Structure 1
Amino acid sequence: MTTMTQLPDIANNIRGIQARGGYGVPGKPAFALHREADPAEQRETREEAFNIRATGPRPAGKSCDEYPFASTKEGGNALPALYHGWAFVPADQQNRQAGFVAGFYKQNRVIDNDPFHVRV
């Protein structure tokens, strides 16, 4: 299980999306996220996630955060719209999140298709 509690804006985004469908919620094994280890698939998933968001200028100092993560099989538009989403979050939190997720995968030896949950 990875945690985003140290990233309040990202945690808030994830919490709202999880509340709509439960993917990645601890204690719900049937709604686990699954790692996507292929970098090409991750890039494609990230593009899908950003193509479905509303267009318009990005606020200064913000970055677009998608959930489920692009590094999951459930990312992008793999799930019905109710179960995925995005939000503008402070860019520093977005940069730190990438390290948290990569570190979680490495420390816990999470390989392709392994299930996991996200605590917020």
Structure 2
Amino acid sequence: MRTRNVTPHAGHIGYAQSSGLPGAPNGTPLTRTTNNTIVQNNRNTTCNRVPGPRPAGRQCDEYPFASTLEGGGAGGPARTYGQNPPDPCPETMPDWVVRRPIPVQFFNSKGVSMCMMPGHDNMRGGGIVSWFYTKNRVHDGDTFYVKGL
């Protein structure tokens, strides 16, 4: 899957993969899940734990996607990137989210990446993931790759 026309979303995926998370082509694949309990647990372990209020017009994005077995509920450290604007993820995150410097280098192959981004980009990115699953007939238990920036 390649995330087009959603630069913040694709950039976040690229940073996450650079930090060691799975899903990059020629690496360890992601595994889709359609189990709603797993999907909700992934969300509850990541972005749903970030207290509000959120910055105006911004939403929390997570990678690996909540719809994967490698999502936040699979365990491991949470991370985000940069310090200040124009860094990709300048917003304050809770203490349990480790801030990694840019350029991003390997951190851990387990865990989750979280980044606040424009809400329209986050929603479009989620729509692209859903489209990708449907268009490519990616079913429960199927593996796939994602190319970030």
| TM-score normalized by the length of structure 1 | 0.87
| Alignment correspondent of 2:94 | none
| Alignment correspondent of 1:78 | 74
| Alignment correspondent of 1:65 | 61
Give the deviation of 1:40 after TM superposition: 2.8
| Alignment correspondent of 1:98 | 126
Distance 1:51 1:99, change over 3 A: closer
Q: 5+ unaligned residues in a row in structure 1: which ranges?
A: none
The structure having more radius of gyration, on CA atoms, is: 2
Distance 1:107 1:62, change over 3 A: same
Q: How does 1:46-65 map to 2 (within 5 A)?
A: 46-50=43-47, 53=50, 55=51, 57-65=53-61
Deviation per residue, 1:40-70 (Å, 9 max, x gap): 32112111112565x4531100000000000
Q: Which has the higher helix share?
A: 1
- Are 2:32 and 1:35 aligned? yes
Contact map agreement 1:35 1:115 (CA 8 A) in 2: yes
Q: Which amino acid aligns with 2:23?
A: G
Contact map agreement 1:5 1:119 (CA 8 A) in 2: no
Distance 1:90 1:20, change over 3 A: same
Runs of 4+ in 1 over 4 A off after TM superposition: none
Give the deviation of 1:106 after TM superposition: 0.7
Contact map agreement 2:21 2:64 (CA 8 A) in 1: no
- Are 2:5 and 1:6 aligned? yes
Contact map agreement 1:48 1:76 (CA 8 A) in 2: yes
| TM-score normalized by the length of structure 2 | 0.71
Give the deviation of 1:22 after TM superposition: 4.3
Identity across aligned pairs (percent)? 36
CA distance in 1, matches of 2:21, 2:71: 14
Aligned length: 116
Q: Which amino acid aligns with 2:122?
A: Q
